[in-house]
A and B are shown apart, each in its own frame.
Chain A
Amino acid sequence: MRVLLVDDEKELVSTLAERLAIRSIDSDWVTDGEDALKLVETHCYDVAVLDIRLPGISGLDLQKKMKLKCPDLKFIFMTGHGSLGDFQAGATEAGTDYYLVKPVGIDELIEKMNNLMSA
């Protein structure tokens, strides 16, 4: 399982990637949407974990663009914000269960990823 982590908090994504690596999950991380799109062109990922609010582009828009390039990609939203609009949009795109509010426990995250893969 290859995972792409996109969040503007570098410390968060880098640490998360490291922890996933410890758990034998390959992951790449980027801190903005453009880098994420470039990576998607060159690499193939199973799951993308996106923040809803990214610099320059919203997580939801990013998801749509990524989906065009890589139709099989699955998504998990992870956000610090809980406005109803975000919640509804995110939950519709990814399903209520895959809209996570920070802070998220690593075990919960891995469980959600596995669920997505097996679905």
Chain B
Amino acid sequence: MSLINRIKPKFWDYRDMASVPYRATCQFRRLWYGVILLTSAVALFPLIFLAVIDYKATQHDIESEILLRTSRLVSNTRRTISYFLEERKSALDFVVHDNSFEKCANPDRLDGILSNLKNAFGGFKDIGLIGPLGLQRFYVGPYNLKGKDYSDQEWYQQVVERGEYISDVFLGFRHVPHLIIAIKYTSESGSYCVLRATLNTEQFNDILSHLEMAGQGDAFVINHQGILQTPSRFHGKVFQKISLPIPEYAHRTRVFEWETADGVPLIIGYRYISDTPFILMVTKQKTELMKPWYNTRKELIGFLIISVMFILLVIFGGTTYLVNRIYMADQRLIMTLHNVEYSNKMASIGRLAAGVAHEINNPLAVINEKAGLIKDLLTIKKEYEKNDALAGSIEVIISSVERCGRVTKRLLGFARHMDVSIQSIRLDEMVQEVLEFLHKEAEYRAIAISLHFSDEIPRIETDAGKLQQILLNIINNAFAAMEKGGRLDITAEMAGQEMVSITISDDGCGIAEANLKQVFEPFFSTKTVEGGTGLGLSITYGLVRELGGSIDVKSKVNKGTDFTIVLPLTIGEKEKMDT
């Protein structure tokens, strides 16, 4: 709370009471808000807008780049795999065309072909020749499969129908993953046979496992049922069903995004390999691929936040400073206007007082003389000697005239001091003169006034009119603070060689400590409801400064207040220029 108060600028709670009564608004606060909002909007909107646009654009670019790269990888790999299978198929095709059924029927020849194939391509495990009825007529390999009947097997029917066949990978009774390539050979006479070779999948697997892939990439082959044909790093072992969806059929390479059950976003590229039961799939973890971009993004966002904060700081600081300057200039202007108004008022009062006093003094002098003459005559003429009533009345008239005279002289004295000038005055006389104005009020309210003037105080040379106003203001304030039967002490003594200090102490309600620092500030008033302007003490402060002096206040609530004014004995040259 106190921190807020400390950093809160002065204009924050300022309400212009004077201009619009009862509808006071915090005009400087509104100005502050307005400037802050406008400049912030103008400065930050383009920055944030551009940042967002750029963010979206680069994100989109990076994502398409990733998709494109995945797609390219899938295409290339598909080509390799197709080529791999095509190569072997062509080899078998060549074999079956190069060697007639009769030649193949020779087991030695078949054995030679197998060993040539093994040498040339590797991976061939066995080879067999199946007659038109589906019976394996000749076989070379680790098992004795000669005479096995394939006629009721699906692959046989397919190869007879389509001319070629590539099987899924399966374990068979060898317990080694392998696949079958079968080629149908139709002779000129119309009879046909089928050449069937078994390939183990190691080479096939090698193609995929040697792919270099970023982002936790995984390349594998599945069949159309989603059963893994080659090992996968993340999606299961061979012959397991993959945890990913089986992508829909497409002629071309396709890439799509998918989120696993664990919430890991994947980029999946796939391609149906034509004429085979295989689908090539490549998966990559999007998060991994985006990592470099995420890092850049983090830096950019950090930079953006720092920039925004810096801009806001500058806007806040600058606006507060400027609005405060405007506020202070405004305050000074109002203060000056009030000062001018105040001194004009005092000057008018002075002129009025002098005019009135003059007009009254002449008739008063006539009354005085006439009454004096009557008194003289009464004294001379013996016959009125005994008439005490008449003599008494005359005395009363004369003493009343004297009283009136004192009042008008006081007014004239006050007005005389109002005229701006430096005079040599006696401090006690000056205080007496001021008190004359207030002594009736003091009497009514039974306020005891006591003066303590040190004898060593010389005459002081100062602007008497200003000093008069200073004393009048402070004593008036003291009166206002006191209850009936209060006590006012005015003490004057030397303060060093060149200065004299005047202390005016009352035993009134006092000033709260929180307000004590502010009492000399313009427009500070605790009596705004009663019509205080909050200017009295601020003008007093200004006047004391103009006389080259200083003013200080000490107060305790319900104990009383001491105002101490310290004035130089002679007013300085600078102050003379000011007055």
* Dominant secondary structure at the B interface: helix
Give, as a whole number of angstroms, the nearest-CB distance from B415 to chain A. Answer: 7
Q: Which residues of B contact A9 (CB under 8 A)?
A: 362, 365-366
Number of interface residues, chain B, beta carbon within 8 A: 31
Distance of A82 Cα from B353 Cα, bound (Å): 10
Give, as a whole number of angstroms, the nearest-CB distance from A96 to chain B. Answer: 12
Q: Which residues of B contact A18 (CB under 8 A)?
A: 373, 376
Q: Which residue of B lies closest to A53 (CB)?
A: B358
Q: Does B357 contact A (CB under 8 A)?
A: yes
Q: Which residues of B contact A16 (CB under 8 A)?
A: 369
Q: Which residues of B contact A84 (CB under 8 A)?
A: 416, 419, 421
Distance of A102 Cα from B367 Cα, bound (Å): 11
Distance of A22 Cα from B378 Cα, bound (Å): 12
Number of A-B contacts (CB under 8 A): 84
Asked if B380 and A103 make an inter-chain contact with CB atoms under 8 angstroms apart, the answer reads no
Per-position binary interface string of chain A over residues 1-38, scored 1 when its CB falls under 8 Å from any chain B CB and 0 otherwise = 00000000101100110110010000000000000000
Q: Which residue of B lies closest to A22 (CB)?
A: B376
Per-position binary interface string of chain A over residues 51-88, scored 1 when its CB falls under 8 Å from any chain B CB and 0 otherwise = 00000000000000000000000000001111111010
Q: Does B330 contact A (CB under 8 A)?
A: no
Asked if B380 and A22 make an inter-chain contact with CB atoms under 8 angstroms apart, the answer reads yes
Asked if A15 and B370 make an inter-chain contact with CB atoms under 8 angstroms apart, the answer reads yes
Asked if B416 and A103 make an inter-chain contact with CB atoms under 8 angstroms apart, the answer reads no
Give, as a whole number of angstroms, the nearest-CB distance from A67 to chain B. Answer: 25
Q: Which residues of B contact A106 (CB under 8 A)?
A: 369, 372
Distance of A87 Cα from B421 Cα, bound (Å): 13
Cβ-defined partner of B376 (8 Å) among A19, A83, A87 = A19
Q: Does A116 contact B (CB under 8 A)?
A: no
Q: List the one stretch of B341-349, B405-413, B478-486 in contact with chain A.
A: B405-413
Cβ-defined partner of A103 (8 Å) among B365, B377, B421 = B365
Q: How large is the interface on A (under 10, 10 to 19, 20 to 34, 35 or more residues)?
A: 20 to 34
Q: Does B457 contact A (CB under 8 A)?
A: no
Residue from A84, A85, A105, A106 having most chain B Cβ neighbours under 10 A = A84
Q: Which residues of B contact A101 (CB under 8 A)?
A: 361, 405, 408-409, 412
Distance of A75 Cα from B366 Cα, bound (Å): 21
Asked if B357 and A103 make an inter-chain contact with CB atoms under 8 angstroms apart, the answer reads no
Residue from B369, B373, B376 having most chain A Cβ neighbours under 10 A = B369
For chain B residues 324-362, which have a beta carbon within 8 Å of chain A? 354, 357-362
Q: Does B54 contact A (CB under 8 A)?
A: no
Q: Which residues of A contact B368 (CB under 8 A)?
A: 102-105
Cβ-defined partner of B369 (8 Å) among A15, A81, A82, A85 = A15
Q: Does B195 contact A (CB under 8 A)?
A: no
Q: Does B290 contact A (CB under 8 A)?
A: no
Known: A80-B357, A101-B361. A19 touches B409 (CB 8 A): no
Cβ-defined partner of B416 (8 Å) among A15, A80, A82, A105 = A82
Give, as a whole number of angstroms, the nearest-CB distance from B387 to chain A. Answer: 18
Q: Which residues of A contact B447 (CB under 8 A)?
A: none
Distance of A11 Cα from B419 Cα, bound (Å): 32
Give, as a whole number of angstroms, the nearest-CB distance from B422 to chain A. Answer: 12
Asked if A11 and B366 make an inter-chain contact with CB atoms under 8 angstroms apart, the answer reads yes
Known: A22-B380, A82-B358. A102 touches B364 (CB 8 A): yes
Q: Which residues of A contact B357 (CB under 8 A)?
A: 80-82
Q: Which residue of B lies closest to A101 (CB)?
A: B409
Q: Which residue of A lies closest to B376 (CB)?
A: A22
Give, as a whole number of angstroms, the nearest-CB distance from B76 to chain A. Answer: 111
Give, as a whole number of angstroms, the nearest-CB distance from B143 to chain A. Answer: 142
Give, as a whole number of angstroms, the nearest-CB distance from B309 to chain A. Answer: 65
Asked if B354 and A81 make an inter-chain contact with CB atoms under 8 angstroms apart, the answer reads yes
Q: Does B35 contact A (CB under 8 A)?
A: no
Q: Which residues of B contact A87 (CB under 8 A)?
A: 416
Residue from B358, B364, B380 having most chain A Cβ neighbours under 10 A = B358
Distance of A9 Cα from B358 Cα, bound (Å): 13
Distance of A21 Cα from B225 Cα, bound (Å): 152
Cβ-defined partner of A102 (8 Å) among B365, B370, B377, B416 = B365
Q: Does B402 contact A (CB under 8 A)?
A: yes
Q: Does B401 contact A (CB under 8 A)?
A: yes
Q: Which residue of A lies closest to B405 (CB)?
A: A103
Asked if B369 and A12 make an inter-chain contact with CB atoms under 8 angstroms apart, the answer reads yes
Asked if B402 and A11 make an inter-chain contact with CB atoms under 8 angstroms apart, the answer reads no
Cβ-defined partner of A81 (8 Å) among B358, B419, B421 = B358
Asked if A83 and B354 make an inter-chain contact with CB atoms under 8 angstroms apart, the answer reads yes
Distance of A41 Cα from B67 Cα, bound (Å): 131
Distance of A84 Cα from B416 Cα, bound (Å): 5
Q: Which residues of A contact B412 (CB under 8 A)?
A: 81-82, 101
Q: Which residue of A lies closest to B362 (CB)?
A: A80
Asked if B366 and A105 make an inter-chain contact with CB atoms under 8 angstroms apart, the answer reads no
Distance of A11 Cα from B371 Cα, bound (Å): 12
Residue from A9, A79, A101, A104 having most chain B Cβ neighbours under 10 A = A101
Asked if A83 and B362 make an inter-chain contact with CB atoms under 8 angstroms apart, the answer reads no
Listed A/B pairs (7) with beta-carbon separation below 8 Å: A9-B365, A83-B419, A101-B361, A102-B405, A103-B364, A103-B365, A104-B368
Seed contacts A15-B373, A106-B369; 9 additional CB < 8 Å A-B pairs? A9-B362, A15-B370, A19-B372, A81-B357, A82-B358, A82-B416, A83-B415, A102-B362, A106-B372
- Shortest 3 CB-CB distances between A and B: which pairs? A82-B412, A80-B361, A102-B365
